[in-house]
């Protein structure tokens, strides 16, 4: 684990128990074997062992969402678009890289129809290009009526709430995460879990962040940076 993820960046980790751990273990095993010296050839070998996870009491359903270009899977993208389109009360997002035009258009449309849209971005991330791209996205969101915030340091969280549906995981809101990289998110609609995400993540981060004014989104070379960010 990189030091920045553990202690320097604002990030989120979750502990998962129950049957879904079996699916998560298989996904991790595939990635781990593929990263070894045999590369893609390692996928021809089956794992040496796999222990089925024990059931747990008091749990709630989780849906695993994947991005995997090799398998033609864009579940994270499709589920996110559907969640935003279905929202009638709120769309709250915290993400370090918001550059996907399809997602941005749907979030803008939600704001125009009166949904409470709030987006938290890092004040200064680990990529100047992506920071400029974020500001380009923020400009369109603000013009549509959304509230966009700057977290005071690098936030690496990838979380979204659409009414009573939540999603957490590894996917950024950019081309790489939504269409190319292997990514994995977890989605849920349990009321207690949604309240927990609101209470422990969004409410504290709204308080810690500063709302961006429209004039702050006008930066030199913004169109070029935004065009480059769209490809990342």
**pLDDT at 25 (0 to 100):** 86
**pLDDT for 221:** 61
pLDDT at 154: 94
Give the fold, CATH level 3, of 62-229. Answer: Endonuclease; Chain A (3.30.870)
Q: Which pLDDT score, from 0 to 100, does residue 145 have?
A: 97
pLDDT for 184 equals 95
The candidate with the shortest Cα–Cα distance to 188, out of 18, 5, 9, is 18
Helices 101-112 and 128-144 pack at an angle, to 10 degrees, of 30
Q: Which residues contact 217 (CB under 8 A, 6 or more apart)?
A: 135, 136, 138, 139, 142
Span between the terminal Cα atoms of the chain, in Å:
23
- Residue ranges per domain, the chain? 12-55, 62-229
**Residue pair 43/33 in contact by the 8 Å Cβ criterion:** yes
pLDDT, tens digit only, all 232 positions of the chain: 677 877 789 999 999 999 889 888 888 877 777 777 776 666 666 666 567 788 888 889 999 999 999 889 999 999 999 999 999 999 999 999 999 999 999 999 999 999 999 999 999 878 778 888 899 999 999 999 999 999 999 999 999 999 999 999 999 999 999 999 999 999 999 999 999 999 999 999 999 999 999 999 886 665 555 555 555 5
Determine the Cα–Cα distance for residues 116 and 149; give it in Å rounded to an integer: 14
Q: What pLDDT is attached to residue 31?
A: 78
pLDDT of residue 210: 97
Question: Phi/psi of residue 101, each to 5°?
Answer: -70, -40
Q: Which helix (DSSP H) or strand (DSSP E) does residue 134 occupy?
A: helix 128-144
């Amino acid at each position: 684990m990189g030091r920045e993820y553990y202690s320097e960046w604002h990030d989120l980790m979750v502990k998962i128990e129950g049957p879904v751990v079996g699916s998560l273990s298989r996904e991790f095993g595939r990635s781990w074997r593929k990263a070894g010296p045999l590369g893609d050839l390692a996928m021809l070998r089956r794992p040496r062992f796999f222990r089925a996870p024990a059931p747990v009491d008091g749990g709630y359903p989780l849906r695993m969402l994947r991005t995997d270009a090799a398998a033609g899977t864009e579940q994270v993208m499709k589920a996110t678009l559907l969640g935003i389109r279905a929202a009638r009360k709120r769309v709250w997002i915290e993400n370090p890289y918001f550059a996907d035009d399809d997602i941005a258009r749907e979030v803008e449309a939600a704001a125009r129809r009166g949904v409470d849209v709030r987006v938290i971005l890092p004040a200064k991330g680990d990529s100047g290009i992506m920071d400029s791209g974020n500001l380009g996205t923020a400009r369109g969101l603000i013009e549509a009526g959304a509230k966009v915030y700057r977290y005071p340091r690098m936030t690496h969280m990838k979380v979204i709430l659409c009414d009573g549906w939540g999603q957490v995981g590894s996917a950024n809101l950019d081309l790489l995460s939504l269409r190319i990289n292997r990514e994995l998110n977890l989605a849920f609609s349990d009321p207690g879990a949604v309240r927990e995400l609101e209470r422990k993540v969004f409410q504290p981060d709204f308080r810690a962040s500063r709302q961006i004014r429209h004039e702050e989104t006008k930066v030199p070379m913004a169109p070029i940076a935004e065009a480059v960010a769209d490809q990342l």
